[in-house]
Chains A and B, each alone.
Chain A
Amino acid sequence: MFEFLINNYHIFTSFIIMIIGLLAIILCNNLVKKMIALSIFQTSALLMYVSSSYIENGQTPIYQFKESETGTKEVILGDYLNSGSEIIYHNPLPHVLMLTAIVVGVAVLSVGLALTLKIYSKYKTLDENKIINKEEFND
């Protein structure tokens, strides 16, 4: 277990921040603090995915060129199965998926904050317990 903590410390960090965000959504009374906790929760999950794309001694996934014998530029391809290429690139697939996740996260956050503003304009308070007490339940 200590080898996991030393070498995969970022996964442990991701768990802790996820649990902190989840607890804050449940325990905080203020609605805007719940939205802050939602944003932190989403960001922590992305860290774990992006860290799985890292390869030791690797470069950013943008193709690099080298000068060949005839003087023209030649591209250096990457390869994970055969260990013969000169440059190892990081895995580009988790980067692509997490790009979409970040933008979807900000879209969800903005709709949540719009609903919070409408709740504030009706009840004039943002405390969760006071809103539940003020709400009239018509049976």
Chain B
Amino acid sequence: MTINFILCNMLIVIAILVFIQKSLLNSVLMLGLFSLIMTLCYINFGALDVAITEAAVGVAISTLIFLAVIKVVGVNIETNNRKLLYYITAIISSVVILFLIFINIDTPLLGDILSPIHSLSANHYVSESYKEIGIPNMVTAILASYRGFDTLGEVFVIFTAGISVFYIIKMKDKHDEK
């Protein structure tokens, strides 16, 4: 698929561009762009629920939280010259990537219907879910009914994150009272 090829190349270029910027504001905006291209990748693979969530969470909320932090902290970063270290890590990481490719050389190709991931419980969800639950959206049926426990755990996680951020920021340390 040529669209897949183009989008993945854009992702790699943007991921490299995020970290060579001289200002924190530019890095945060490139992160938002990264999430946007990732949304297009998800749409290309036919995953619409994941695409809406990634667009709302990755593009909107993540960028807004980073911008709220940058307003306090400031956009300037200190640069240092470590070119030799970067070249050595580039060589080592390319060796690691080659190693990872050789491990995964037998993965099923894109779109293969005979791959083993489609044959066990996913087959039951796709064929029996309308008779047992009766709603057209399969993802909501699995999320709320077949796998309700995972969603309960996730609601606990997001609730805990909300309270802990509020109380971490509100808490005063000893040095504040001096």
Contact = CB atoms under 8 A, between A and B. Distances in A.
A72 to B, nearest CB: 15
A32 interface: yes
Q: Is chain B's interface secondary structure helix, strand, loop, or mixed overall? A: helix
Given A17-B11, A90-B47, A110-B161, A78 B38 contact: no
Interface of B: 4-5, 8-9, 11-12, 15-16, 18-19, 24, 27-28, 31, 34-35, 38, 41-42, 45-50, 53-54, 57-58, 61-62, 65-66, 69-70, 72-73, 77-78, 80, 82, 85-86, 89, 93, 96-97, 100-102, 104-105, 107-113, 115, 117-119, 121-123, 125-127, 130, 136-139, 142-143, 147, 150-151, 154, 157-158, 160-161, 164-165, 168-169, 173, 175
B12 A40 contact: no
11 contacts: A36-B18, A39-B31, A63-B136, A92-B138, A99-B143, A100-B150, A104-B154, A106-B57, A111-B165, A113-B69, A126-B77
Contacts, number: 251
A122 B164 contact: no
A35 B70 CA distance: 12
B142 A92 contact: yes
Interface string A8-37: 111111011101110110011110110111
Interface residues of A, number: 84
Interface of A: 1, 4-5, 7-13, 15-17, 19-21, 23-24, 27-30, 32-33, 35-37, 39-40, 43-44, 46-47, 50-56, 58-63, 75, 77-81, 88-100, 102-104, 106-111, 113-118, 120, 122, 126-127
